[in-house]
Structure 1
Amino acid sequence: MGLRFWHPPAHRDLPPPVPARPVTAEVSSHVPTPPRRYPTPPPRGQRPPRARQPVQQPAGRQVKRRRRPRWVTRAATVFSVTVLAAAGIGHAVVTSLDTKIDRVDAFKDMKNRPKGGTGMNVLLVGTDGRDKITDADKQKYRLGGAPCHCTDTIMIVHISEDRNRASVVSLPRDSYAEMPEHVDRNSGERHKPHPVKMNAAYAEGGANLTVRTVENMTKVKIDHYLEVDFTSFMKTVDVLGGVEICTARPLKDSYTGLNLPVGMHTLNGGAALQYVRTRHVDGSSDLGRMRRQQRFLAALISKATGSGVLLNPLKFRDVTRTLLSSVRADGGFGTNEMLSLGRAMRGFSPRSSEFTTVPLLDKGVNVPGIGSTLKWDPEKSVKLFDAIRADRPLAAHHAKRAIVDVSPQQIRVQVDNGTGKPGLGKLVDSALRSTGFRTTRAPGNWPGAPLKRTVVAYDPRWDRSAKSLATALPGSVMKPVNGLGSTLKVFAGQDFKQVRPVQAEDAYQGEFGALTGDQVTCR
């Protein structure tokens, strides 16, 4: 392959670091006036003496009345007013919002429901709703066409019993589903149980049939139902001041108009809608779109919890009012539930949330009259929903991972020891495998002179995979080798210290492929 006689460039010494410029504190010439000292207040528990007429004192002698310092009284007053105002504003605001929510009877006449578990389960449904968007925004964000009155997004959001964790499970809209017996709201006909794609439940029976179908498929009891449309989504993002996302590859979709280069971006409401709707940027279609929706939801949580929104009653009011302006919810989701969630979310961070998609079989199922559907993995999906009912975490809490273009699980690697140091090849192979790379588990030895730098050798046709592998090996040198094939080679050099954990946007980690919010956001 031509690599035996190639040697990497000699290690160049880096220039000496520039000494840090000393920081000199700016000293003010103003000398503050010493605070006024007051007499020590009476001991705790003693009643202050009643006010009396001043007694005439002998000439030359004055007695000062002891009184409580003014700053104590002022501080107590300000603190009391602040607490009462915050509590009053919060409850008043939420109560007023409660009366404005559009209600839907999502649980009407439901029987034979699953047994309730621990924690709270919310079925979050994203609907089309483009009929409420202005013509200018429709044109700008490629939202033409008639509204489909269907579900673009279906998620189960599980809030743990202690309110310290939110687990979000995406259910693909093209999932093969068994719809229970129902009356079609369009034709009025009664249908017996039959197979469909999951998003057909909303089209035929609205919120009620959607809840019944999800419960029938997952055996998870749904406690509340929330339905969000395009308009509510866009306005909420704008009120927050935009949401920051990052991408490791260019995202360009002529259908939605999305055009993002590699890097960090702050998206406004319209651009955010393009991002979560895009499904033509790669071959992953709806699965890739769901992963982007999860990433965006994690970034949204990060923005809300990191910008003081949840601690500011007025800002909280504005954001919540905007979000709920176009939301439909079940009648049981009222003031108490919103206040409880608001208090719980104040302690949230991106690490408090976790995201996954219901495990799928490798091949879909083609159903006559329905078309191609996605089939859930019968064993893994049952274990996932068992964990939801038992209120167990879904994600393995790994350290923060660098974002790469290609998932480590898709990259095959052969490791060779390039130093002659016993055991180094086995060490690197094990470290790469632990972060997700598919190593051969048979490390070899470099026949040439010891290498100072770690080398990643790759076929130019697999350059994206090579960049992802090199990211996991900080300081490594990339070397293209024509004809090497799909298996990349790592020649561990004397500079090797450790493998940096990496992940792709579509990385699957842990038993259910779940990732915590801090692992899917930019930082």
Structure 2
Amino acid sequence: MPAEPPERDSHATSGAGEEGADAERWHSSTYGRPRRPAGRGPGRGAGREQARAAQTPGREQRLADLHRPVPAPPAARPAGQDPPGPGEPHRGAPHGAAPHRPRRRPNVRRRRVLAVVAVLVVLAVAYPLTLAWRGWSSVEQVAAASTGERPAATPGTTYLIVGSDSRDGLTPEEIEEYSAGGDDISGRRTDTIMLLHVPDSGGPAALISIPRDSWVPVPGHDRNKINAAFAIGGAPLLMQTVEQVSGLRVDHYVETGFGGFARIVDAVGGVTMCPAEAVDDVRAGLDIPAGCQSMDGRTALGYARYRYTDNQGDFGRVQRQRDLLGAITSKAASPATLLNPFRAFPLASAGGSAVTVDEGSSITDLVGFLRGMREATGAGGISMTVPVSNPSLRTGHGIAVKWDTDKTLAMFGDLKADDTEALRSLTS
């Protein structure tokens, strides 16, 4: 409800007095808006135009806005230049405007790739170390070093490899399975004696078979078959005998037995061998046809042992033994075996438990032995038998094998000089 104006009195009508002036100002206003004083500024219409111009830009102002140049985008900074600082506006930005900061998004794909690479690196390091440790933890070590006077150290690394016919640790069922029974099951003899030389000079590795009936001087026991040294004094006497007759310093000793050999073959999933003729040998428990075939541990053991039905006797046997070792090593080192943990770890356990090494050997020496075996039995390696002049030498201890003195001395001389390439002349 509008307020009531104050009543006019005589003083207000005459315009005299302060109260009359207030009443006059009230009646001259509309809803409390005072009337523009007369005689001050433009008229009523001009006042409206002035207010409208103050609120809305004029035509000239609008045309000026249309012709104002658009600011250019910020120029790219040279490579290596630091981004704008916290208080520094981006180039081309209007004065006082907040700098434009690009939003950083994490590169999810790159992080995933880096994570996969990191996992693969860890596996590439951890897997072979775990596999090697699994095998090494099962290896047995014995005192095998020679107890007599030893030759001076020779370059390269020489391993003495022995395949024992000892039945120790075999159950009666295994003795029957491997056809390892008979009158001579007690004691220890060697079915296999080999030297593996891995040169430092970069030449080929050499695997050399020593026939078990080789006629040599045995320290403290006159001349005898080299097999007798192992039967009399075990690994230390056999190593002393080999060192004295060859002049080589034997660095390490590796031995396996009947059961261990068969378990290694089974662990790699069998090996493929190609006998030229069918074999039927009752003493070795072997009855196989001619031609290439896969052999399990039992069959491969018999194939490595038989000699009585072989026209070459022990010389044919040592050749088959080297062939078998090459097939086992090649398959064990293949990606199909090593990259399959369900095959690699059982193989490491079986191989480790089947091997006996000297007390001075380490896991590094065992790895070096496996690499040397693979090289020696490969295409570029050297696989041979000690040169022989008489395979049927009659002695007081039965028929023995006499070495070719000149060629054998030349062979051992090349090994002592670490010149395995020179051995090729003896194998041709």
CA contact (8 A) 1:163 1:344 kept: no
- CA distance, structure 2, for counterparts of residue 159 and residue 362 of structure 1: 29
- TM-superposed deviation, 1:164: 7.1
Question: 1:377-411, CA deviations, whole angstroms, 9 ceiling, x for partnerless residues?
Answer: 00111111122223333588xxxxxxxxxxxxxxx
Equivalent position amino acid for 2:321 in 1: Q
CA distance in 1, matches of 2:80, 2:267: 51
> Does residue 383 in structure 1 map to residue 410 in structure 2?
yes
Of 117, 120, 126 in structure 2, the residue corresponding to residue 79 of structure 1 is 117
Give 1:116-265 correspondences, 5 Å limit.
Answer: 116-145=153-182, 146-161=185-200, 165-181=204-220, 193-265=221-293
TM-aligned CA deviation for residue 316 of structure 1: 4.2
Which residue identity lines up with residue 191 of structure 2 in the other structure?
A: D
- Secondary structure of the 1:247 match is coil
Alpha-carbon contact 1:126-1:228 (below 8 Å) kept: yes
| Distance (whole Å) between structure 2 residues aligned to residue 194 and residue 350 of structure 1 | 38
Greater share of helix residues, 1 or 2? 2
TM-score after normalising by structure 1: 0.58
Counterparts of 2:82 and 2:373, CA distance in 1: 44
CA contact (8 A) 1:164 1:347 kept: no
8 A contact 2:146–2:237 mirrored in 1: no
Q: Distance in 2 between matches of 1:246 and 1:87?
A: 37
CA separation of 1:67 and 1:283: change in aligned 2, threshold 3 A: same
Amino acid at match of 1:389: K
Tell me, in whole angstroms, the C-alpha distance in 2 between the residues paired with 1:44 and 1:239: 60
Deviation at 1:257, TM superposition (A): 2.4
Percent of matched pairs sharing the same residue: 33
The 2-side partners of 1:347 and 1:84 are apart by 28
1:100–1:325 contact (8 Å) kept in structure 2: yes
For the residue of structure 2 that corresponds to 1:380, the secondary structure is helix
Relative distance call for 1:345 and 1:169 in structure 2 (3 A) is: closer
| Distance in 2 between residues matched to 1:349 and 1:72, nearest whole Å | 45
What corresponds to 1:94 in structure 2? 132
Deviation at residue 161 of structure 1 after TM alignment: 2.1
Q: Deviations over 1:64-90 (max 9, x none)?
A: 645564343333322233222332343
Does structure 2 retain, via aligned residues, the 8 Å contact 1:251–1:258? yes
Query: TM-score of the superposition, structure 2-length normalised?
Result: 0.70
Deviation string 1:37-81 (CA, Å, 9 cap, x unpaired) is: xxxxx9999999999xxx9x99xxx98645564343333322233
Please tell me the residue identity of whatever aligns with 1:134: T
Could you say what secondary structure the match of 2:244 adopts? Answer: helix
Equivalent residue in structure 1 for 2:304, among 269, 272, 276: 276
Q: Which moved more, 1:301-310 or 1:243-252?
A: 301-310
AA aligned opposite 1:155: M
Quote the Cα distance in structure 1 between the aligned partners of 2:366 and 2:329: 16
Report matched runs for 1:482-521 at 5 Å. Answer: 511-513=425-427
Question: Separation in 2 of the partners of 1:381 and 1:354?
Answer: 15
**Cα 1:96/1:292, change in 2 over 3 Å:** closer
Distance in 1 (alpha carbons) for counterparts of 2:201 and 2:394: 42
Superposed CA deviations along residues 176-231 of structure 1, whole A, max 9, x for unmatched, are 010113xxxxxxxxxxx500100100111111000000111111110000110111
SS in 2 for 1:511: helix
CA offset digits 1:118-158 (Å, max 9, x no partner):
22100000111324333334333322132441111100011
Distance across 2 between alignment mates of 1:143 and 1:127:
12
| TM-aligned CA deviation for residue 91 of structure 1 | 2.9
| Residues 64 and 299 of structure 1, relative CA distance in 2, 3 Å threshold | same
CA contact (8 A) 2:190 2:230 kept: yes
Quick one: which amino acid aligns to residue 154 of structure 1? I
**What secondary structure is seen at the aligned counterpart in 2 of 1:325?**
helix
Distance across 2 between alignment mates of 1:283 and 1:326: 31
1:90–1:313: 8 Å Cα contact kept in structure 2?
no
Task: Check the 8 A contact 2:154/2:417 in 1, yes or no.
Answer: yes
The residue aligned with 2:366 is: 338
Post-superposition offset of 1:374: 0.5
CA distance in 2, matches of 1:93, 1:316: 7
Which runs of structure 2 are paired with 1:413-428 in the superposition (5 Å)? none
**Rounded Cα–Cα distance in structure 2 between residues aligned with 1:99 and 1:175:** 35
1:219-247 per-position Cα deviation (integer Å, ceiling 9, x unaligned): 11100001101111111111100011112
Q: Does 1:304 align with 2:332?
A: yes
Q: CA deviation at 1:308?
A: 3.9
Quick check: which has more Rg, 1 or 2?
A: 2
Question: Which amino acid is 2:116 matched to?
Answer: V
Distance 1:165 1:46, change over 3 A: farther
| Distance 1:311-1:162 versus aligned 2 partners, 3 A rule | farther
Unmatched tracts of structure 1, length 5 or more: 1-41, 182-192, 397-509, 515-523
What value does the CA root-mean-square deviation take over the aligned residues? 3.6
CA distance in 2, matches of 1:170, 1:335: 25
Q: Distance in 1 between matches of 2:79 and 2:383?
A: 54
Q: Which residue type is aligned with residue 118 of structure 2?
A: S
> Does structure 1 retain, via aligned residues, the 8 Å contact 2:273–2:294?
yes
Structure 2: gaps of 5 or more residues: 1-76, 95-99
CA contact (8 A) 2:326 2:377 kept: no
Report how far residue 326 of structure 1 moved: 2.9
- Alpha-carbon distance in structure 1 between the residues aligned to 2:246 and 2:413: 9
Q: State the partner residue of 1:372.
A: 399
Secondary structure at the counterpart of residue 384 of structure 2 = strand
Q: Check whether the contact 2:243–2:250 (CA below 8 A) recurs between aligned residues.
A: yes
Q: Distance in 2 between matches of 1:43 and 1:212?
A: 77
Q: Distance in 2 between matches of 1:274 and 1:325?
A: 21
